[in-house]
Amino acid sequence: MKVIVPVKRVIDYNVKARVKADQSGVDLANVKMSMNPFDEIGVEEAIRLKEKGKASEIIAVSIGPAQASETIRTALAMGADRGILVKTDGEVEPLAVAKILKAICEAEQPGLVITGKQAIDDDSNQTGQMLAALLGWPQATFAHKLEMGDGKADVEREIDGGLQTIEVKLPAVVTTDLRLNEPRYASLPNIMKAKKKPIDEKTPADYGVDVTPRLKVLKVTEPPKRTAGIKVKTAAELVDKLKEAGAF
């Protein structure tokens, strides 16, 4: 069974995003970029499936600028087998990403697609679900635990009230939540080996997908700021101040 892992190049999770002065977006010039952390969890899960003999080949797909090939290399160094880079300029919305991934799935016929539940830049939380719908496949979002069965998978999901387990028929789309696994670091030998692994370069036109954004971003602004208040000396004083402020 092939597994496809979409990987997005995003601002590194340790970097605080800064809004551009002209309100046109977030300043990404000279900012450290990394693989979306949820996608990293997806890559790790795919590798674990391969190590358990449940997956035969792992294909890392990235849709983005030329530098997204570095993100694919990271996935290859972790243990993915090959990459597909779909080169684009500018932002690509989740629906367009899902359409490209659908075309790739039709060509590659994977048994499973594992995506991050959301990317930490646009925080959309849409791509996996949209891909599943377009393919007419089942989905298991916010995965906490994945058990592969025969032609099906049991997925424990993180939901608002706790945990829920569902069974999905394969092929399926799984989206990762934080506690599915802890991604490994690539070893130096594996980083060297990854340089020889193939990456196919494509364009959205190869898949017949128009990636022109449909939502118009009118402006991007700073959120309202909070300022630090006062320090109190004792826990009793804290309670008294909160009561005075009408907090309870």
Interface with another protein in residues 173-192 (CB under 8 A): 177-179
Contact between 208 and another protein by CB under 8 A: the answer reads no
**Neighbouring-strand partners of residue 114:** 174
Token pair in block for residue 142: 């916010």
Contact between 21 and another protein by CB under 8 A: the answer reads no
Direct distance between the N- and C-terminal alpha carbons of the chain, in angstroms, rounded to an integer: 57
Contact between 234 and another protein by CB under 8 A: the answer reads yes
User: Least distance from C-beta 145 to another protein, angstroms?
Assistant: 11
Contact stretch for another protein (CB under 8 A) within 72-80, 81-89, 166-174, 199-207: 166-174
Contact between 200 and another protein by CB under 8 A: the answer reads no
CB 157 within 8 A of CB 146: no
Using CB under 8 A as the binding criterion, the count of chain residues that bind another protein stands at: 84
Report the amino acid identity of residue 9: R
> What SS3 class is residue 129?
helix
The rounded distance, in Å, linking the Cα atoms of 154 and 166 is: 6
User: Least distance from C-beta 219 to another protein, angstroms?
Assistant: 5
Output 36 or 69, the one with its CB closest to another protein: 36
Report the amino acid identity of residue 117: K
Taking each helix axis from N to C end, the angle separating 37-51 and 68-78, rounded to the nearest 10 degrees, works out to 30
User: Least distance from C-beta 150 to another protein, angstroms?
Assistant: 15
